[in-house]
Chain A
Amino acid sequence: MPDSPAPARTRPADAALNTGLGRVLLFVYGVFALSASARALVQIATHFSEARLAYLLSAVAGLVYISATIGLAIGGERGRLIALVSCSIELLGVLIVGTLSIADAVAFPDDTVWSHYGSGYGYVPLVLPFIGLWWIYRHRPRN
């Protein structure tokens, strides 16, 4: 690395939404945005008629992850609002789809990111919105 100033080890209290742990979240959300939407794209393109509901929810999940990633990347008041809405929908989505996929297995013959509370993805989809919302809450604007 060229001679950059000595890295700060502690975060200032007013640090931005998209630094620190926020940057880790940005990375993880980006990965999920990519994998969820790619999965939905493949499902809809190759065998949409098999489980329309599941594949549409797959696409919705992809869009939610994309908007959460964008919100975390923009930061600031607007980015925070986008991320807040996305993470809330994400939390509802993983809980509702997770429950539905167990209760009504017929409608979900093929897995989505949120099926079985994200067990196919190491339950990361279940944990992620909680961390995201906590991080967004910590960065609420103070007057």
Chain B
Amino acid sequence: MNGPLSVATIVVALVLAAWLLLRAALNRAPSRFDLLATAVLGALVAVLVLVAVVGLFGDHRPSDTATFGGYLITTIAFAPVAIYLARMEPTRWGNLILGVACLVLPVLVLRLQQIASVTVA
């Protein structure tokens, strides 16, 4: 959970968030690129979640497994829900939805790391 993959996810999410918030500030509706970039981030997050799920069957299971699972489900669903809502909103607000999602995702990843760091021996 604490590898280069989560660092990459956080960095990509923050860069994308800056871009999307700028697009919203400039009054631009989500373009195909904006939606695709968010989808790519979603795919990255999905890989991260898959790795974490595989890790659940290993030796270092987080002691708060239920909370960890809840966060995993929330995290993997985040980008798809944001893209779904943004596609219904072809205005600047669509980009704001995507931008907010990209701001929350790093928080979710950090929370996952926190929960994962408390393991059952």
Chain A residues with CB under 8 Å of chain B are 1, 4, 7-9, 11, 19-21, 23-24, 26-28, 30-31, 34-35, 38, 42
The chain A residue sitting closest to B30, CB to CB, is A7
Q: Choose from A1, A9, A24 the contact partner of B100 (Cβ within 8 Å).
A: A24
When distances are taken between beta carbons in the complex, the residues of chain A under 8 Å from B70 are: 38, 42
Rounded to whole angstroms, the CA-CA distance of A21 and B95 in the bound complex is 11
Beta-carbon contact of B96 and A24 below 8 Å: yes
Grouping DSSP codes into helix (H, G, I), strand (E, B) and loop, the A interface class, with mixed when no group exceeds half, is: helix
CB pair B100–A21 under 8 Å, yes or no, is no
Within 8 A of A (CB), among B73-108: 74, 81-82, 85, 87-94, 96-97, 100-101, 104
Number of interface residues of B (CB under 8 A): 23
B88 / chain A contacts, CB cutoff of 8 Å: 23
Q: Report B-chain residues with C-beta under 8 Å of the C-beta of A42.
A: 66-67, 70
Known: A7-B29, A23-B97, A38-B74. 14 other contacts (CB 8 A): A7-B90, A7-B91, A9-B91, A9-B92, A11-B91, A19-B89, A19-B93, A20-B91, A20-B93, A21-B96, A24-B100, A26-B85, A27-B97, A28-B100
A21 interface neighbour in B82, B90, B93, Cβ under 8 Å: B93
Task: Give bound CA distance, A79 to B55, whole Å.
Answer: 43
> Provided the pairs A11-B91, A42-B66 are in contact, do residues A24 and B97 lie with their beta carbons within 8 angstroms?
yes
Instruction: Point out which of A7, A19, A34 has the most chain B C-beta atoms below 10 A from its C-beta.
Output: A7
Q: Which residues of B pack against A, CB within 8 Å?
A: 27, 29, 32, 66-67, 70, 74, 81-82, 85, 87-94, 96-97, 100-101, 104
B107: nearest chain-A partner, CB-CB: A122
Given A9-B29, A34-B74, is A23 in contact with B89 using a C-beta cutoff of 8 Å? yes
Q: Shortest distance in angstroms between A111's beta carbon and chain B's nearest beta carbon?
A: 13
Give B87's nearest chain A residue, CB to CB.
A1
Query: Which residues does chain A contribute within 8 Å of B92, judged by CB atoms?
Result: 9
14 residue pairs A–B, Cβ–Cβ below 8 Å: A9-B29, A11-B91, A19-B93, A21-B96, A23-B88, A23-B97, A24-B93, A24-B97, A24-B100, A26-B85, A30-B81, A34-B74, A42-B66, A42-B67
CB distance from B100 to the nearest CB of A (A): 6
Shortest CB distance B108–A (Å): 10
Q: Report how far A129 CA is from B66 CA in the complex, Å.
A: 30
Q: Which residue of A lies closest to B24 (CB)?
A: A24
Chain A residues in 8 Å Cβ range of B93: 19-21, 23-24
Shortest CB-to-CB span from A142 to chain B, Å, is 22
